Amino acid sequence: MSRAAAPAPHRAPNPLLDRHRAVLPDWLALYYADPLELSHGEGRHVWDTAGNKYLDFFGGILTTMTAHALPEVTKAVGEQAARLIHSSTLYLNRPMVELAERIAALSGIPDARVFFTSSGTEANDTALLLATAHRGSNQVLAMRNSYHGRSFSTVGITGNRAWSPTGLSPLQTLYVHGGVRTRGPYARLTDAEFTAACVADLEDLIGQGRTPAALIAEPVQGVGGFTSPPDGLYAAFREVLDRHGVLWISDEVQTGWGRTGDHFWGWQAHDRNGPPDIVTFAKGIANGMSVGGVIARAELMNTIDANSISTFGGSPITMAAGLANLSHLLEHDLQGNARRVGGLLIERLRAVAAGVPAVREVRGRGLMIGIEIVRPGGDEPDPAATTAVLEAARAGGLLIGKGGGHHTSVLRIAPPLSLTVAEAEEGAAILGRALRAL
């Protein structure tokens, strides 16, 4: 494709887009030159208001985890809404207690306590509050290329410039190597050498000043382009952290609930030293309802010595959705489906991308797959070509996402975990055509 600047394509009138731009922030991103308005969904498909049908390989940013319009969730929400929508945490809340019990049991954390929030950003915010209060330190270790949310504290620990609009922060953040395996100064090392170099870097950072409160890390970096270190790296980090009394926070907002296929939690790929001190979650747990949360052992969770409540966290209606969705996921072994169908999908995507010079790498695990796009003949990221593939996939009837480092040059593929083999084949074929159009 030509790299020269092209005139802006003609856009048909879109009154809703004009209204959006008139009242919402300029920095509120929209996909596509002609943005979509979705009207409804079913299973792994959605429809726009023009009647076009799409195979959904992004699920509202990994949030429609099981399926669109899942009957069990729809029924649970309707029944709870007919009884009581809201109460706040000032009253006993049976659905909240029941979901907390299930999540605590699934976490692997001994004597676990669960606090519910309304988003992943708020969950990570809470984890930082717990860790810094418990350790008496405002220094935090984070991974390069990371993303942890859009609040004032979480943009301050986000190691991805494209998603961190200010350098001001209540925290002192030090960034550690290791989240990206195939780029950076350690890319050419073997997995064992890579891990050893990253551990040495961590040791060096901790030894330079006051003891940090915690390391926060995504087992697979989501917004960063579905990059991940070799399995076992965070276990090796944990040995260093434990020796210095530094907590480990695993940000499972995108990797939790079996999406990676091999494991229920992303941290389990690194688990020789047991579960993290704190786990954060959100996204898919309630299949689109606003639920996030923090899991920590009682000693850590109860470190807060001031009054606190949550107005919307743990609301009866979102907890009912979470209970129904988690039950469906476990009863239908959607983690196993992510492993089986995700393995097939990544094989198909590697096959269709094999003859495309612009594809640097197809990577991922389970139903969490990234395709990195570069200028042919080198390693330079190509955001324009990435956007072109995103548009071509939509034209072919497939919705995907994008992300990756500072350059947004990775196609992000994360369908609902109930994806069928036929749908995986169909999506790979559409993406193949979109990639070959480059």
Q: Tell me: the pLDDT tens digits for 75-130? A: 999 999 999 999 999 999 999 999 999 999 999 999 999 999 999 999 999 999 99
Q: Which residues of 281-298 are buried (b: 16+ CB within 10 A; e: fewer)?
A: bbbbbbbbbbbbbbbbbe
**What pLDDT shows up at residue 340?**
98
**What pLDDT shows up at residue 11?**
63
Phi and psi at 238, nearest 5°, equal: -60, -35
> At which residue do the structure tokens 């200028």 appear?
375
Q: What is the pLDDT of residues 132-150, one digit of tens each?
A: 999 999 999 999 999 999 9
| Cα gap 19→12, rounded to integer Å | 15
Q: pLDDT-derived band of residue 13, with 50, 70 and 90 as boundaries? A: confident
**What pLDDT shows up at residue 2?**
37
**What pLDDT shows up at residue 4?**
42
**What pLDDT shows up at residue 425?**
98
**What pLDDT shows up at residue 10?**
56
Q: pLDDT-derived band of residue 163, with 50, 70 and 90 as boundaries? A: confident
- Tally of residues, the chain: 438
Whether 8 has a pLDDT exceeding 80, the answer reads no
Q: pLDDT-derived band of residue 1, with 50, 70 and 90 as boundaries? A: very low
Average pLDDT score over residue span 331-345:
98
Delineate the domains of the chain, giving CATH numbers in brackets: 15-69+333-436 (3.90.1150.10), 71-331 (3.40.640.10)
For the chain, give the percent of residues with pLDDT over 90.
91
Q: What is the pLDDT of residues 266-282, one digit of tens each?
A: 999 998 789 999 999 99
Note whether 116 and 344 are within 8 A (CB). Answer: no
Helix axes 334-353, 421-436, angle to 10 degrees: 30
* Sign, CA torsion 305/138/226/39: positive
Q: pLDDT-derived band of residue 315, with 50, 70 and 90 as boundaries? A: very high
**What pLDDT shows up at residue 178?**
97
| Cα gap 328→73, rounded to integer Å | 9
Note whether 361 and 227 are within 8 A (CB). Answer: no
**What pLDDT shows up at residue 3?**
40
For the chain, give the percent of residues with pLDDT over 70.
97
Q: What is the pLDDT of residues 53-70, one digit of tens each?
A: 999 999 999 999 999 999
Supply the mean pLDDT for the chain.
Answer: 95
Whether 422 has a pLDDT exceeding 80, the answer reads yes
| Cα gap 74→82, rounded to integer Å | 12
**What pLDDT shows up at residue 161?**
86
Long-range contacts from 392-397, C-beta under 8 angstroms, 24+ separation: 392/433, 392/434, 392/437, 393/430, 393/431, 393/434, 394/32, 394/36, 394/54, 395/434, 396/430, 396/433, 396/434, 397/52, 397/53, 397/54, 397/55, 397/430
Q: What is the pLDDT of residues 379-405, one digit of tens each?
A: 999 999 999 999 999 999 999 999 998
Q: pLDDT-derived band of residue 411, with 50, 70 and 90 as boundaries? A: very high
Average pLDDT score over residue span 156-185:
92
